[in-house]
């Protein structure tokens, strides 16, 4: 019998959101995954590579009106992302911003231009934050 790992729940939440989104779910013809955090999608309309990272809980902040998550990019992550960008892949990075009440967790999506900008700045981490009741995430400029 195989045991579920914590990461499986976070990666599964991203896939579920893509397949079941009321505002425009996708219906892939093919989904390939050679690694638990990287999935290749082919639909009738497009192809894209989905790279997933997660944080299981937000950071402690001095201000209660903000929520913040820090995602570390390993050397291997950066090499992989650079390779995908060099190959011209339609790349999307999904950052799962977890909280203790899992159903209140959120997903931030970064497109290939945002990913390229992070790499060009030689960042080794990404901080995503959001003020309470705001609809959009903020990406901190310098890390």
Q: Which CATH number is 29's domain given?
A: 3.40.1350.10
Q: How many CB atoms lie within 10 A of CB 74?
A: 10
Domain limits for position 31: 6-139
Per-residue pLDDT of the chain (143 residues; tens, 9 = 90+): 677 788 888 888 888 887 776 666 566 555 666 666 888 888 777 888 999 999 988 777 666 777 888 999 999 999 999 999 999 999 999 999 888 887 778 889 999 999 999 999 998 999 888 877 777 777 775 44
Domain assignment present for residue 1? The answer is no
Report how many domains make up the chain.
1
Domain assignment present for residue 33? The answer is yes
CB-count exposure of residue 4 (10 Å: 0-12, 13-18, 19+):
exposed
Domain assignment present for residue 27? The answer is yes
The pLDDT, as a whole number, for residue 24 is 61
Domain assignment present for residue 49? The answer is yes
Domain assignment present for residue 52? The answer is yes
> What's the pTM?
0.83
């Amino acid at each position: 019998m195989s045991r579920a790992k914590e990461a499986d729940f976070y990666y599964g939440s991203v896939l579920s959101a893509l397949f079941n989104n009321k505002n425009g779910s996708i219906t892939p013809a093919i989904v390939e995954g050679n690694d638990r955090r990287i999935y290749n999608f082919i639909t009738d309309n497009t192809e894209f590579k989905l790279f997933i990272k997660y944080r299981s809980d937000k950071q402690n902040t001095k201000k209660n009106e903000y929520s913040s998550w820090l995602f570390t990019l390993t050397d291997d992550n950066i090499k992989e992302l650079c390779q995908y960008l060099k190959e011209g892949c339609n790349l999307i990075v999904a950052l799962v911003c977890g909280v203790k009440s899992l159903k209140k967790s959120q997903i931030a999506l970064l497109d290939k231009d945002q990913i390229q900008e992070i790499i060009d700045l030689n960042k080794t981490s990404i901080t995503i934050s959001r003020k309470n009741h705001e609809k959009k995430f903020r990406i901190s400029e310098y890390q």
